Amino acid sequence: MADPTTPNMTLTEPVIGVTVGPAWATETNNNWTIVDQHDHSPGKGVLITPAGMNITADLTFQGNNLTNLKALKFLANGSPLSTAFFPESIYVAGQDLYYNDNSGNQVRITQSGAVVGPPGSITGLVPPASVTYVSGDETFVFQSDVNVPANLDGGSITLREVTTSPNGITLSSPTGLPANYTLTLPNALPGSRSLLSFDNSGTGSYTTPDGSTISIVSNTLEVPAGGIGTTQLASGAVTSAKVQNNINLPGTNVEINGNAATSSYNNGYSLKIVRGVIDPGGSILEGEGFTCVHGSPGNYTLAFTQPFSGIPAVVATLTSGSLSSYTNIFTNSLATTGFLVATATGGSTSDEAFSFIAIGPA
């Protein structure tokens, strides 16, 4: 009868008092051979459990695969591992997954609970949101869900022609914008050339000029003749501060409060008036549109700042002297650019104060 064997390594157990010497020795020698091959594989010892292992150094798999793994749990390192000491390694730093390649690159795989894409990708972009480039249309398509457009929030936008190195038009928000607001464009194109306006809610609409007060001619906004009247101008809307000094109002029908502002007996000229008051020394006391140079006693040269288009009519009047002393005033050398004044008392030239008015074609 053969001696029994052990269940894990099939060692032959000599039976004490039964197995004779030669057989005992043979079985013992055979058992030592089996023990020498002991590696805890099936039939060569009890399988090693995690409780029986204490790994204190790197564990190599000799180039073999790690198979039938349910999950791989990483230690959460405080910061990304050095690529010099941990090349070709996958690990966790903080709560994100990293990979160090063998070229010294530290590749972050996850961030903020999502997969990080390659450089230039959008962080946090996870399905169903998407960004797609349509090469045929040269268009980027942003979607928040399948077939649902996404909103964009950013800085200035530069619009360019789709060609090589084009110039661009930049749309920007005003500096120091005090509050957000929305502009909503009209829901269709206008039927004809129109003006775009927005109400206080930011809703846009088109306004078509009526053609009588405002019209669009060859892409230019124009006011037709007679288009601005008392109906279009509010009372007091045009003030002196809004009217240019020395404004020229051509024509023969210019009126102020119903009275003619300019008139002419012949040819329909527009007339202008220059007036002044001069002291004996030649200083201008009143008036504008002229200069005065005092020469020898009783001689004054007056020059118009803007010449008349024709020789004006000039009237000069003494404001000093008296009839009893035979004080006189003379004007001569009338021209479009000015005239001369001479004053005299008792037949001799003398400095005197005078005033004048010149009226002529503008």
Residue type, 324: S
pLDDT tens-digit series, residues 309-360: 999 999 999 988 665 568 888 999 999 999 999 999 888 999 999 999 999 9
Q: What is the pTM of this model?
A: 0.39
Residue 32 φ then ψ, to 5°: -65, -35
Which CATH code for domain 271-361?
2.60.40.2080
Report the candidate in 134, 168, 173 with the shortest Cα–Cα distance to residue 153.
Answer: 173
Helix (H) or strand (E) holding 134: strand 130-134
- What gap in Å lies between CA 304 and CA 292, rounded to an integer? 9
Domain span(s) for CATH 2.60.40.2080 in the chain: 271-361
Q: Which residues of 226-264 are buried (b: 16+ CB within 10 A; e: fewer)?
A: eeeeeeeeeeeeeeeeeeeeeeeeeeeeeeeeeeeebee
Report the candidate in 182, 213, 214 with the shortest Cα–Cα distance to residue 195.
Answer: 214
CB atoms within 10 A of CB 361: 16
pLDDT tens-digit series, residues 191-237: 888 889 999 999 999 988 777 777 777 778 888 877 777 777 777 77
The whole-chain average pLDDT of the chain stands at 86
- What gap in Å lies between CA 189 and CA 204, rounded to an integer? 11
CA dihedral 232, 237, 242, 246 (to 10 degrees): 70
